[in-house]
Amino acid sequence: MTFDFTDEQRALRQAVRELLDDHSAEPAVRAAAASATGVDQDLWKLLAEQLGLAGLVVPEGCGGAGAGPVELAIVLEEMGKKLFCGPYLSSSVLAATLLTELSCAEFLPDLASGQRTATVVFAQQSIAAGEGLSGEQRFVLDGATADLLLVVAGGPRVFAVDPAAGGVSIQPMSTVDGTRRLAAITLDDVPARPVGDPGSTAAAVDWTLRTGEVALAAEQAGGARAALDMAVAYARARFQFGRAIGSFQAIKHLCADLLVEVESAYSTAYAAAWALAERSPEATALAAMAQAFCSDAFVRVAADNIQIHGGIGFTWEHPAHLYLRRARSSAQLLGDAATHRERYLSAIVDQG
Amino acid sequence: MTFDFTDEQRALRQAVRELLDDHSAEPAVRAAAASATGVDQDLWKLLAEQLGLAGLVVPEGCGGAGAGPVELAIVLEEMGKKLFCGPYLSSSVLAATLLTELSCAEFLPDLASGQRTATVVFAQQSIAAGEGLSGEQRFVLDGATADLLLVVAGGPRVFAVDPAAGGVSIQPMSTVDGTRRLAAITLDDVPARPVGDPGSTAAAVDWTLRTGEVALAAEQAGGARAALDMAVAYARARFQFGRAIGSFQAIKHLCADLLVEVESAYSTAYAAAWALAERSPEATALAAMAQAFCSDAFVRVAADNIQIHGGIGFTWEHPAHLYLRRARSSAQLLGDAATHRERYLSAIVDQG
Amino acid sequence: MNIDSLRSEVRQWLADHWDLAADRAEWLAAVVDRGYAVPRWSREDFGLGLDEESAEAVEAEFRRAGAPGSGQDRTNLWANTVLAYGSADLRQRFLRPLLLGEIRMCLLYSEPGAGSDLAGLRTTAVPDGDSYRVDGQKVWTSNAAEADYGMLIARTDPEVPKHRGISFFFLPMDQPGVTVRPLRQMTGEAHFNEVFLTDARVPAANMLGEPGQGWRVLQTALAYERVVLAESNRGASTRHAKKDGGEVDLIELARRHGRLDDPVVRQDIARVLTLRAANRWNNQRAQAELEQGTSSSLASLGKLLMSRLLHETGRVQTAIVGAEAMLEGADHPDGDDANFAAMNAYFTSIGGGTDQIQRNIIGERILRLPKEPDRFRDVPFREIPKSG
Amino acid sequence: MNIDSLRSEVRQWLADHWDLAADRAEWLAAVVDRGYAVPRWSREDFGLGLDEESAEAVEAEFRRAGAPGSGQDRTNLWANTVLAYGSADLRQRFLRPLLLGEIRMCLLYSEPGAGSDLAGLRTTAVPDGDSYRVDGQKVWTSNAAEADYGMLIARTDPEVPKHRGISFFFLPMDQPGVTVRPLRQMTGEAHFNEVFLTDARVPAANMLGEPGQGWRVLQTALAYERVVLAESNRGASTRHAKKDGGEVDLIELARRHGRLDDPVVRQDIARVLTLRAANRWNNQRAQAELEQGTSSSLASLGKLLMSRLLHETGRVQTAIVGAEAMLEGADHPDGDDANFAAMNAYFTSIGGGTDQIQRNIIGERILRLPKEPDRFRDVPFREIPKSG
């Protein structure tokens, strides 16, 4: 692992950054967060059509860019910095990876173009595979806006479900983070089409989750970086007692400690991304490690950012709490940090 | 609980403090720590004969002062501040409490006068009760200097064992804290006399352990207080960059946080002592809570004291490490903090 | 009169007059007229001139009966400030109505640019005939919309060092120069306001203390405010009131979420419960020390420990509820509570002096560590660097 | 010459000359004479005048062959300092012997009163004929007893601000005015010394740079020292060397003590292993950035993270071994290790700049937060307040 990016990867980062600087500034994020769907449709279009990001990891044969986990981490990191609002993680990461791993070409072109979005319903425990699917699954990412549900039922087997089909009931859940939407999905004997080869499904689902963990870790690392940048900028500009508050050790030393968190989060996220890209045997352990570390790091930095801001940071009008909400929600999205730490340790103990 | 001391209790504290100020200053502590036995015999004599402290909790009928856990906490807190070296916890707290609870008058007068010392060998797991005792127990507090071993064997039953008896082998263990001595004791079919009524032994042993936990917690609270006092005095006197280092927030804020630890350690220790004194149903839970909190607090304050001192605190010649050694050793003596926290939680969950 | 007969007298009076159904205004008037509202104050100022022990006995009887209105000589921040620094005229106009609760008040202290450094305030009060013209902005004001008057600190002299150019006023709130705007907190609640002062007016006669003496008046007012806070010792919010004195039952929460067997969660819970207990005992000790007249260093620690406790509680609630911590609203009360706890903890670690300022105070006042050198101690306010 | 032919040339030379059994002094002489010891330096100064890439190729060949002595233009702290600031005379006298390792050196920087504030040093050097008379005390000096010379910073002018009155010397150690006393660390080990300087003498010709320029010379020396540290990246102690690059195997330790099933311990271990990995990756990134010529902000973080990692490791080792943590000595290796780890962590969090100073540096140099105001920047050293 050299942590060294190719010119293409650098260009990708630059392009995403420019797009989001222009279109995912605070007012846009607040508008999306306050909207019914939580999605900034205009931005989604730009992202898909202008940069082709919706199909980033979709194979070229299916209309995508055929990129890998490192590119994904770059995009997610930049999205995390700007609190990007849209179904990227659900559709372009989880669903696209799952379909790709299942070698299922049917839906991928639509996902790659961004014309349709999908989400994965991880329901191995709650929904049994059969002719008609029945059961309930809560906390489905972007479940209320997806055009296609990929239900991972017990087995595991994956089924394509049309959210508009009879017997499908989708209830948006009220999330503390308006920029990240969840839904509770109930299936009542819903006709569903199996997707992919049963023999490869378990591995595909596993790989999809690992990819999601790394993508989310990168997003968290980006969010942590942005929150620290915000704190540092304020510590330079805010004067009390005739001095910038960042000249006081209480603030300065806190920022220094947070920088260690932020840089380490970045390292763990990209180390895991490279491991995934190389399909290294360490990938599972490192994805869990990164997810645990980045969850804690983002929550800590976003929280301390509020403390550094003092009163103004405690107001609704200030963006600091948007990052804390995102951090808290991200820290639970794929399981909490303690769970991932335990998974990491189990993995390396098993490896011996 | 009012945390309000009687005049007698205040006078007791004052007397102990004066004695230890005169006789347990750093050179005396270092001498004892470097000695073969770890005991300052002259100080022990003064303590026993001048203040009658050896018999503090021994009933008046057996030559003691008949005092309770609060007085014990006062004495131990003062001893903790000065790193007192001697078999007080083993003999005057644990052994004296056990014999008192067992209503065993035989050995108590000698313990009360300080002429003999005893220790309790908690060997429920390792030594079976029988005609002759056999087994091994490590980490016996003051096991190499005690004149009498009170062996708590499985059952539990308590046996009085003469350390000079045939079949008794006592091996001093090399402790990281020279002021706190431990020994490994091996019994090979040693003739032993049962002590106390079997029916009351379990309760007596339990109460003895709770008393030990509270006494040790008070000692830790005192040690933490002394370590903080040392840090604050240094932070006032040490100048760097033309200023006392205590004027820098890095040091000042650390000291403030440590004061919270120190005051809270004191509160938990005395709350538990009062609960014990009142034989409150909460006593077991509070003793465990105090032992957990005071262990962590003393280790933290003693450790940060070294950091605050910088280079000089890292030297052998400076007393800071004596407190860290004591803190680390105390944190394990009756079980570690995590174990006590779990015991505390179990106790209150069981109570409902 | 000895304490026992005082006690019987008060008890008898309460028995004769107190009635749970009584009109509050009438009742308070009766208490004030009898002198029980402010028993420590002199008879000229509605009091009885009692010593501390006797006054405490009067208050105790009121507490026993569940009757309000006594002990305002300790707890009525507004009246105490007027008594300490108000002119004869101000005392005449304000004391009795304040004791009767007829005048509603708010605090106009903090500013967007003057939080930790309150003395760096920039709101100005410029003499203009018999009154002062006030311009500036205040923030974190509770009850601003309902208040009749605001206790205002404003700069009357920018040419002297910052602490010396401040004056203290009772500003009438119902005037065109005062605009109140609710301030929404990050939790979504709105307990506070911003107050914009644009050519607002306050009569010169409404100044407490002398011009430039406002910082000293403020210290007195703040001391009384701390007493009030200690009395109530409650958070800013009632939205999330919990049983057991507002503290969430973590054991019950863990049991409900099937996490009570998780050893990591158990350690977490035990830590929080220990901090809670330590905080309670520290406060008891502080109370005992105060009652013995020993000045208590423990009281200052309470806020810092409470801040830590609240943050830690929010963290552990989150760990227990897990995925539900992504949710808010009445349908997900445990998740909602966890989020509120985690976010609202900043109310304590920032409000009323940040943890950082609190550590300065503890380090300097209790541990006697030296202050940081202040380059601007003797510099005119006008010349002190300020935020861009 | 292109890189490939340079590479072959060096490889051939090594094949012809390098022999594991060779006498070290003779070997070094051959390397120095050939110019491979300091390939980046000019030919006048024992070098080859190579650019960075070529020099790196020379070093790489030496590494491949396992032959020592090359790359001293990066790693020989002493020789680099002499080259940068020494007079022609000093370079003549010292460069070659230093490259050959014939002169043993030590550092005379820190003082009991000048730790974090190194520029506050009080050792004086007063001109006296052709030499300076040196009085004072130094501390934390490794190899003081064996050294021929010490790199000394001493105050030559107390009448100017502190950074400007310091000069830098090569002090002969073998003289009556120099007394070396071993300094025992809290761990019981003694890797360092105190050095007492009482009427010690150093020739004026042994000054590096000009009088009063010593602080600048020191910065150069410290920069080279950091390179050396980064090269070795090892703790001060070899007593407790662990397998796997000196890192204790916590999983194996937990297994041995029957604690590998404890969920709390597992969380602890996972946290430490994560910090270790993060630190390793951060260092890789720093290395990569340095190689690309980007100045790396990550390098500064390493020491702070290492400090946290070492303290945390000591804590977790202690949690795992439990009661055995009360013991030390060879009979209880795991307890002994845990204690040593917990105590020796202070070597990193204090030595070479405390964590607190490190946070200042990170805050100011990387995050560009403003420095604390320094009242004494322009004050003569004599007038700066000092410890009683």
Triad B24, B30, B36: Cα angle to 5°: 110
Which residues does B contribute to its contact with C (CB < 8 Å)?
Answer: 1-4, 232, 235-236, 243-244, 246-249, 251-253, 255-257, 259-260, 263-264, 267-268, 270-271, 289, 292-293, 338, 341-342, 344-345, 348-349
Given this model, what pLDDT does residue D123 score? 98
Residues of chain C positioned with their CB less than 8 A from the CB of B264: 275, 278-279, 281-282, 305
In single-letter form, the type of residue at position D319 comes to A
Q: pLDDT tens for residues A244-278?
A: 999 999 999 999 999 999 999 999 999 999 999 99
Given this model, what pLDDT does residue C231 score? 60
N- to C-terminal Cα separation, chain D:
63
pLDDT > 60? residue D243: no
Q: pLDDT tens for residues D7-47?
A: 999 999 999 999 988 899 999 999 999 999 999 999 999 99
DSSP B247: G
Q: Mapping DSSP to helix (H, G, I), strand (E, B) and coil, where does residue A157 land?
A: strand
pLDDT band at residue C232, thresholds of 50, 70 and 90? low
How far is it, in rounded angstroms, from Cα C362 to Cα B232? 12
Dihedral angle sign, alpha carbons of residues A67, A72, A74, A75: positive
Instruction: Name residue, tokens 């909207």.
Output: A35
Which residues does B contribute to its contact with D (CB < 8 Å)?
Answer: 138-139, 173-177, 180, 182, 237-243, 245, 248, 250-251, 303, 306-307, 310-318, 320-321, 324, 328-329, 332-333, 336, 338
How far is it, in rounded angstroms, from Cα C95 to Cα B173? 74
Q: pLDDT tens for residues D73-93?
A: 998 999 999 999 999 999 999
Q: Say yes or no for a CB contact (<8 Å) between B247 and C285.
A: no
Answer yes or no: are the C-beta atoms of A3 and A66 closer than 8 Å.
Answer: no
Residues of chain A positioned with their CB less than 8 A from the CB of D287: none
How many CB atoms are closer than 10 A to CB C18?
Answer: 18
- Residue among D179, D101, D104 nearest D143 (CA): D104
How many CB atoms are closer than 10 A to CB C252?
Answer: 12
Torsion angle defined by CA atoms of residues D338, D340, D344 and D345, in that order, rounded to the nearest 10 degrees: 0
| Closest-approach residue (CA) in chain D for B139 | D323
Answer yes or no: are the C-beta atoms of A74 and A12 closer than 8 Å.
Answer: yes
Answer yes or no: are the C-beta atoms of C86 and C208 closer than 8 Å.
Answer: yes
Q: pLDDT tens for residues C262-299?
A: 999 999 999 999 999 999 999 999 888 777 766 667 87
Q: Say yes or no for a CB contact (<8 Å) between A321 and C387.
A: no
Residues 6 or more apart from B223 whose CB is under 8 A from it?
B80, B81, B83, B298, B302, B323, B326, B327, B330
Phi and psi at C175, nearest 5°, equal -155, 160
Report the interhelical angle of B283-309 vs D333-350 (nearest 10°). 50
How many CB atoms are closer than 10 A to CB B166?
Answer: 9
From the centroid of its chain, how far is CA B179?
Answer: 11
Rg (CA), chain B: 20
Query: How many CA atoms lie within 13 Å of C15's alpha carbon, on the beta-carbon side?
Result: 6
DSSP B148: E
Q: pLDDT tens for residues A207-232?
A: 999 999 999 999 999 999 999 999 99
Given this model, what pLDDT does residue D263 score? 97
How far is it, in rounded angstroms, from Cα B347 to Cα B341? 10
The stretch D316-345 carries a mean pLDDT of 97
Q: pLDDT tens for residues C43-76?
A: 999 999 999 999 999 999 999 999 999 999 998 9
Answer yes or no: are the C-beta atoms of C370 and B236 closer than 8 Å.
Answer: yes
* Least reliable range by pLDDT among A123-127, A130-134, B285-289, C225-229: C225-229
Residues 6 or more apart from A115 whose CB is under 8 A from it?
A48
pLDDT > 50? residue C233: no
Q: Say yes or no for a CB contact (<8 Å) between A316 and C375.
A: no
State the pTM of this model.
Answer: 0.95
Given this model, what pLDDT does residue D230 score? 62
Given this model, what pLDDT does residue D282 score? 94
Write out the two tokens for C247: 């503290």
Write out the two tokens for D105: 């050196």
Given this model, what pLDDT does residue D237 score? 41
* Closest residue to C264, CB basis, from D263, D373, D375: D263
Answer yes or no: are the C-beta atoms of B311 and D115 closer than 8 Å.
Answer: yes
pLDDT band at residue D345, thresholds of 50, 70 and 90? very high
How far is it, in rounded angstroms, from Cα D95 to Cα D101? 10
Asked if the peptide bond before residue B156 counts as cis, ω within 30 degrees of 0, the response is yes
Q: pLDDT tens for residues D88-121?
A: 999 999 999 999 999 999 999 999 999 999 999 9
How far is it, in rounded angstroms, from Cα D11 to Cα B14? 79
Phi and psi at C31, nearest 5°, equal -65, -45
Q: CB contacts < 8 Å between B and C, how many?
A: 119
Q: Say yes or no for a CB contact (<8 Å) between D350 and B173.
A: no
Given this model, what pLDDT does residue C224 score? 84
How far is it, in rounded angstroms, from Cα B65 to Cα B62? 9
- Residue among A98, A22, A84 nearest A53 (CA): A84
- Residue among C297, C151, C304, C308 nearest C224 (CA): C151
* Closest residue to C369, CB basis, from B236, B264, B348: B236
How far is it, in rounded angstroms, from Cα B253 to Cα C362? 8
Full set of structural domains in chain A with CATH: 7-113 (1.10.540.10), 118-197 (2.40.110.10), 200-350 (1.20.140.10)
Answer yes or no: are the C-beta atoms of A66 and A54 closer than 8 Å.
Answer: no
| Closest-approach residue (CA) in chain A for C139 | A311
* Least reliable range by pLDDT among B79-88, B123-132, C142-151, D161-170: B123-132
Q: pLDDT tens for residues D133-170?
A: 999 999 999 999 999 999 999 999 999 999 999 999 99
Full set of structural domains in chain C with CATH: 3-75 (no CATH), 105-213 (2.40.110.10), 232-366 (1.20.140.10)
The 3-class secondary structure across chain D, one letter per residue, is CCHHHHHHHHHHHHHHHCCCCCCHHHHHHHHHHHCCCECCCCHHHCECCCCHHHHHHHHHHHHHHCCCCCCHHHHCHHHHHHHHHCCHHHHHHHHHHHHCCCCCEEEECCECCECCCHHHCCCEEEEECCEEEEEEEEEEECCCCCCCEEEEEEECCCCCEHHHCEEEEEEECCCCCEEEEEECECCCCCCEEEEEEEEEEEEHHHEECCCCCHHHHHHHHHHHHHHHHHHHCCCCCCCCCCHHHHCCCHHHHHHHCCCCCCHHHHHHHHHHHHHHHHHHHHHHHHHHHHHCCCCCCHHHHHHHHHHHHHHHHHHHHHHHHHHHHHECCCCCHHHHHHHHHHHHHHHHHHCCCCHHHHHHHHHHHHCCCCCCCCCCCCCEHHHCCCCC
How far is it, in rounded angstroms, from Cα A118 to Cα A55? 12
Query: How many CA atoms lie within 13 Å of C44's alpha carbon, on the beta-carbon side?
Result: 4
How far is it, in rounded angstroms, from Cα D186 to Cα B305? 13
- Residue among B193, B188, B128 nearest B156 (CA): B128
Closest CA–CA distance from residue A164 to any residue of chain D (Å): 44
How far is it, in rounded angstroms, from Cα D180 to Cα D340? 26
Q: pLDDT tens for residues B109-168?
A: 999 999 999 999 999 999 988 779 999 999 999 999 999 999 999 989 999 999 999 999
* Closest residue to D274, CB basis, from A248, A256, A292: A292
In single-letter form, the type of residue at position B341 comes to R
Kind and range of the H or E run holding C199: strand C192-203
Task: State how far the alpha carbon of A61 is from the alpha carbons of A66, A104, A105, A109, B83, in Å.
Answer: 8, 12, 9, 9, 76
Mean pLDDT estimate for chain A = 96
| Closest-approach residue (CA) in chain D for A263 | D282
Establish if C267 touches chain D: CB-CB under 8 angstroms.
yes
Which of A232, A252, A280, A284 is best to mutate for the D interface (most D CBs within 10 A)? Answer: A252
Residues of chain C positioned with their CB less than 8 A from the CB of D262: 263
Residues of chain D positioned with their CB less than 8 A from the CB of C262: 263
Element counts in chain B: helices (H) and strands (E): 11, 9
- Residue among C361, C252, C344 nearest C306 (CA): C344
Q: Mapping DSSP to helix (H, G, I), strand (E, B) and coil, where does residue B316 land?
A: coil
Q: Mapping DSSP to helix (H, G, I), strand (E, B) and coil, where does residue B225 land?
A: helix
Triad B133, B136, B138: Cα angle to 5°: 135
Answer yes or no: are the C-beta atoms of A43 and A108 closer than 8 Å.
Answer: no
pLDDT band at residue C243, thresholds of 50, 70 and 90? very low
Residues 6 or more apart from D95 whose CB is under 8 A from it?
D45, D46, D79, D82, D83, D86
* Closest residue to C322, CB basis, from A251, A312, A332: A332
How far is it, in rounded angstroms, from Cα B244 to Cα B231? 12
Residues 6 or more apart from A27 whose CB is under 8 A from it?
none
Q: CB contacts < 8 Å between C and D, how many?
A: 12
Strands C131-141 and C124-128: antiparallel
Residues of chain D positioned with their CB less than 8 A from the CB of C373: 373, 375
